[in-house]
Amino acid sequence: MVRTKNEEIPISSGGVHNVLAAGTIVTGSIASDSDFRLDGRIEGDINCKGKIVIGPKGSIAGNIISDNAEILGDVEGSIRIKEKLVFKSTAIIKGDIFTQTLEIEPGAHFNGTCTMSGKSQMDGMQAPGNKKANVTPIK
């Protein structure tokens, strides 16, 4: 919050979120307590307690665990979503998915198995192990 003489103004109305920008590669696992947007590349697992968005240039070689997800980029690994999983038309998925609700736009590519179950069954999902992440900018 920013405070002026008579009022407080919120800095961000969209809430707290993390971003991994295009041109960045992370090797290792990432855990986030808030929303996460991936426009770079991760070689490892992601555990996100909010919503994860993988942008059209984003990619991950690893597993995803999150409450909600919207995927526009590439994923090679399993995806475990407690609530809603959305594959946009540019998404390319190679791996198994586990979710309560699934939405796939025409044009999205999905190669794997899909298991849909209730939220109570998804609550027992295990988080990926904690590993140190190495950030390497692309030159």
Question: pLDDT > 70: what percent of the chain?
Answer: 73
What values do phi and psi take at 39, rounded to 5?
-115, -5
Structure tokens at 85: 């999983």
Task: Give 38-84 pLDDT, tens digit per residue.
Answer: 999 999 999 999 999 999 999 999 999 999 999 999 999 999 999 99
What's the count of helices (H) and strands (E) in the chain, helices before strands?
1, 19
- Asked if pLDDT for residue 136 goes beyond 50, the answer is no
What are the C-alpha distances in Å from 129 to residues 11, 37, 86? Answer: 33, 20, 25
Contact 125, 65 (CB under 8 A): yes
pTM: 0.75
Looking at residue 122, what DSSP letter applies?
H
More confident position, 123 or 85: 85
Task: Give 116-133 pLDDT, tens digit per residue.
Answer: 986 545 555 544 444 444
Angle (nearest 5°) at CA 13 between 16 and 35: 25
Task: Specify the 3-state DSSP secondary structure of 51.
Answer: strand
